[in-house]
Amino acid sequence: MKKDDFYERTEVIHEVVEAERSEICYNLLIDLIAKENNHTGKKRILDIGCGDGSFIKKFENDCEVFGVDISSVAVKIAKEAGITAYEVDMSRTKLPFESEYFDLVYMGDVIEHLANPDFAIYEVARTLKPNGFLVLSTPNLASWLNRSLLLMGIQPLFSEVSTLWDFGRFGRLDSFPVGHLRLFTYGALKKFLIHHRFKIVKVEGASYEGLPRVLNNIDRIFSRIHSLSSIVIVIASKMQT
């Protein structure tokens, strides 16, 4: 999928900010900021995949805020909103910050889009201070619904086989590809982060808003079990070397 096919679309740049998972991540970050600001001054926070900057801007009264995004359109909008933002391809481009610069890094629905998530997490670890925190959300390949869909021979949600259309599904579930390249189960995500010297501090599940009402109600119940939830959210701390 070409970048212009998805990441430069205005409606996509702001889409995730309105999702329930973003609200959960916002509250997690607020709690971390409140806890950390009791010790020293203003914290630095980086939003990877910042879009139009509207999410990270919510923290500008309490933190020094920064953003990076693969979309030049998104970065331009974020800069116009007063965010210090840079165009960065997290699969191959080093972050334009010195080592141990940030107290907090947020990756909301980003890692599943990356061709090289190992490079991205290495850069996150490099730019985080010792004992700094990463807040990350990503779709769960092993959600309760995906397990059910596979039993029926239906393509799991969030996975894609084409850059043109979501083949193998029914109805209007994810009617167009969104550029997902890497899908994690919670177990795989945990091992991935531990390998890159992060410690899992907290895990939460979130529901997926793109479901019909009946399925959404069920999904909210399963979101209480992070291994079965549609979206997995983790707080991970950088371990000292």
Q: What is the pLDDT of residues 133-158, one digit of tens each?
A: 999 999 999 999 999 999 999 999 99
What is the amino acid identity at position 124?
V
Q: Which two tokens stand for residue 59?
A: 């923290």
Q: What is the pLDDT of residue 179?
A: 86
Residue 128: pLDDT over 90: yes
Q: What is the pLDDT of residues 155-178, one digit of tens each?
A: 999 999 888 888 887 665 556 788
Domain assignments of the chain as residue spans, ordered by start: 3-140+158-220+231-238
Rounded CA separation 57/51 (Å):
11
Cβ atoms of residues 133 and 104 within 8 Å: yes
Cβ atoms of residues 91 and 7 within 8 Å: no
Supply the CATH classification number for the domain 3-140+158-220+231-238.
3.40.50.150
| Ramachandran area for residue 67 (φ above 0: left; ψ -120 to 50: alpha; else beta) | beta
Which candidate, 66, 130, 121, places its Cα nearest to that of 100?
130
Distance of CA 198 to the CA centre of its chain: 16
User: Mean pLDDT throughout 5-33?
Assistant: 73
Residue 197: pLDDT over 90: yes
User: Mean pLDDT throughout 31-46?
Assistant: 82
